[in-house]
Amino acid sequence: MTEVFQQSINALLIGCNYTLIAIGFNLFFGALNVVHFSHGDVCILGAFVVLILYGLAKFFGLLNVIPPYLFIPLLILATMAVTGMIGVFFERLVIKPFRQAPLLMVLVATVALGMVIREAVRLTFPHGSNPQIFPRILPTFSFSAGGVVLRADNLIILGITFFLIAVMFLFIQKTRMGAAIRAISQDGEAALMMGIRMDRTVAATFLIGSALGAVAGVLIGAYNNIIRYDMGLMGGVKGFSAAVVGGLGNVYGAIIGGLVLGFVETFAAAFIPGGTPYTDVFAFLVVIFFLVFRPSGILGEKVYEKV
């Protein structure tokens, strides 16, 4: 049982990253009915933004002036703001021109955008082709409780994820902009007729989704202590898979889908002999299972089309 609890914590950590990425996919799909396939690369771009901001703070001596308990939240908030604005810029540049085009055009455009982001990071960042050491921005001490080893940074990652999810749900449910996002998700044409400004609402959606994705990139870097320019490709695939499992377009489903994939990968590596190299295989088998037997996902609703 101790091993099960220990692996459950690891599964929660992985699931948190997938959840934050999947929320972005669901927000974008709900607002525009498009799949933003470069979202995973935007998330990892957030981790590289941390490297830049951390390097600037170190260069100007801010690390010795600002205490860590204040510097880390400011660093994460600044990263969310920068990455969120980058996400809005990408929406205006790549997705908005294709709003009235066939969905395949948007799909190709976002895939191409992901390639541009990866190559831009690789070519412009110093030694961009090599793995980059991520700064230890979280405390690393650990303690044991009932035979289960708990690391402080892991608990902080869980706390940050749960806090952001709670804040996002309050924003969506209790604010005027959140109501506009929900209205466009339910019926875009009716929302426009009611006076909701499409461009501003879509921009807010991409700002929130990209900011949450940036936190996912930061937490991936803090968990692995290393990042690569191409990590966003697989991260985006896993995040999209989590969104599909939970129900594409359902934000609540993103949480369930992320946790499902996190537990499948972790338990396959821990309890299946020789299963470590095949964790991705087991995860995608689960995705295929849902695509075959429940295409709408766990919390997705069936859509009936009148003919």
Residue 171 and residue 204: Cα distance in Å, rounded?
Answer: 11
Longest dimension (CA), the chain: 67
Distances (CA, A) of 61 to 126, 178, 244: 21, 39, 45
List the one residue out of 138, 118, 115 whose CA is nearest residue 128: 118
Predicted local confidence at residue 18, as pLDDT: 92
Using an 8 Å Cβ cutoff, are 213 and 266 in contact? no
pTM higher than 0.85: yes
Cα-atom radius of gyration of the chain, to the nearest Å?
20
pLDDT digits (tens, 9 = 90+) for 6-15: 888 889 989 9
pLDDT digits (tens, 9 = 90+) for 117-143: 999 999 998 888 999 999 988 887 787
pLDDT digits (tens, 9 = 90+) for 138-176: 887 787 877 777 888 888 989 999 999 899 889 888 899
- Structural tokens at position 130: 């090599």
Predicted local confidence at residue 301, as pLDDT: 55
pLDDT band at 75 (very low <50, low <70, confident <90, very high): very high
| Number of other residues whose CB lies within 10 A of the CB of residue 54 | 18
| Number of other residues whose CB lies within 10 A of the CB of residue 270 | 17
Q: What is the mean pLDDT of residues 75-90?
A: 95
Q: What is the mean pLDDT of residues 272-277?
A: 84
Predicted local confidence at residue 152, as pLDDT: 85
Residue 54 and residue 46: Cα distance in Å, rounded?
Answer: 12
